Amino acid sequence: MFDREIYNKRIAWYRKARFGMFIHWGLYAIPARGEWVRSVEEMPEEEYLPFFEEFNPVDYDPKKWARAAKEAGMQYAVLTAKHHDGFCLFDSKLTDFKSTNTKSGRDLVREYLDAFRAEGLKVGLYYSLLDWHHPDYPHYGDRNHPMRNCEAEKGVERDFNRYLAYMHGQVEELCTRYGKLDIMWFDFSYKNENYDMTGEAWQATKLVQMIRSYQPDVIIDNRLEVSGEGFGSLATDCPSDFCGDFVSPEQIIPPNGLKDGAGRDLMWEACITMNNNWGYCAKDKNFKPASMIIKKLVECVSKNGNMLLNVGPDARGNIPSESLQILREIGVWMKKNGDSIYGCGGSGLPKPENGRITQKEGRLYYHIMENAIGSVPLYGIRREEVKAVRLLEDGSQLQIPDNWVVNNYPDIVFVDVSATPDLPDATDTVVEILLRETAE
């Protein structure tokens, strides 16, 4: 039974955090052609296993990862404990296909959790419902399995219940052996003509009940029910027992935000790559500039959503230098303007043509992304509502002009932001507006 009050308490921190780090890492960092390399290339197991024998991330230092996330202004992180290839970054007792059996001999999940918690960040684990290594996961005819077209697999008997017991067992290990978890990020449900891999196909009600018995406060995504292409029953008036706590749009920001069937703002998190791949891809240099990511983070918050920004460390355990540079640039902006992100949401005002607006606790944050000729108009804001206007990055007062030029437009507040054609921050200059009714 979905309890709205308990739900709202559970997601309160998450709704305030707004910005997190996604980390896709595993054996696929060695071929370095993306995390779906086995499926895309229909690579047999015997061609993939040599990467297991080779895996030895000698540079892996999760403390560096955690510091990079913290300095970028991120509030939480999610690491792939197991991706679709079935390789586990944790010391599972249920498989030999794990990091502790590689040359590294390390429980990479435990080290990640310790490092990120030490930085004061909330911690999450990603767990793939798919498993291309397990012998009882569907092979021939499945939509995603590397051996989906292999005639030799046709007719081979497999016991999916045995796989489900394995999968539930591994999730139980993560929930009982690694301390308090803040997020469990499952990936993903799907259908094709041969298989319905959604909802109770995963014994989802039983799985969620087990998780909550050990981790009552953990936040779960909606992908036990759907994939990134669906919203699931969380968006309806009748959420299922396994609907999750947030919708997970992938590589897109919902054009108008999301609401549930009753018109309430729906909790959502856009997961976004920095380049074109989630896992490390050596030739993929198509990185989004930090300025774009900052603007898209602001867009998410202005629509009552979060952003989970991905990094894909290489085979040695290093986050790519391009990603680190982007994180540093985001961090510079966040240190000055984080108050317009954390704890903020949409303002209810129409999107202005020169930027976006976020809001919290009697304050509006007007994100100016395009300069004006003369004074900058703050669309949708009336002068009688305003107690004071400040430049957020340094707290300096911004004057509201009163002259014949702007007085022709009495329904709009104008501010003098800059004495030059350039904004103080070329990416996004944030103006903090204290409203009269609650301003301090």
Q: Based on the domain organization, do 329 and 422 belong to the same domain?
A: no
Residue 440 placed within a domain: no
Q: Which of 344, 379, 412 is the last residue of a domain?
A: 344
Q: Tens-digit pLDDT profile for the chain (440 aa)?
A: 789 999 999 999 999 999 999 999 999 999 999 999 999 999 999 999 999 999 999 999 999 999 999 999 999 999 999 999 999 999 999 999 999 999 999 999 999 999 999 999 999 999 999 999 999 999 999 999 999 999 999 999 999 999 999 999 999 999 999 999 999 999 999 998 899 999 999 999 999 999 999 999 999 999 999 999 889 999 999 999 999 999 999 999 999 999 998 999 999 999 999 999 999 999 999 999 999 999 999 999 999 999 999 999 999 999 999 999 999 999 999 999 999 999 999 999 999 999 999 999 999 999 999 999 999 999 999 999 999 999 999 999 999 999 999 999 999 999 999 999 999 999 999 999 999 975 44
Q: Based on the domain organization, do 224 and 354 belong to the same domain?
A: no
3-class SS letters over the chain:
CCCHHHHHHHCHHHHHHCEEEEECCCHHHCCCECCCHHHHCCCCHHHHHHHHHHCCCCCCCHHHHHHHHHHCCCCEEEEEEECCCCCECCCCCCCCCEHHHCCCCCCHHHHHHHHHHHCCCEEEEEEECCCCCCCCCCCCCCCCCCCCCCHHHCCCCCCHHHHHHHHHHHHHHHHHHCCCCCEEEEECCEECCCCEECHHHHCHHHHHHHHHHHCCCCEEECCCCCCCCCCCHHHCCCCCCCCCCEECCECCCCECECECCCCCECCEEEEECCCCCCCCECCCCCCCCHHHHHHHHHHHHHCCEEEEEEECCCCCCCCCHHHHHHHHHHHHHHHHHHHHCCCCEECCCCCCCCEEEEEECCEEEEEECCCCCCCEEECCCCHHHEEEEEECCCCEECCCCCCCCCCCCCCCEEECCCCCCCCCCCCCEEEEEEECCCCC
Task: Enter the pTM of the model.
Answer: 0.97
Q: How many domains does the chain have?
A: 2
CATH classification at residue 431: 2.60.40.1180
Residue 418 placed within a domain: yes
232 lies in which domain range? 4-344
Q: Which of 344, 379, 414 is the last residue of a domain?
A: 344
Q: Based on the domain organization, do 315 and 374 belong to the same domain?
A: no
CATH classification at residue 239: 3.20.20.80
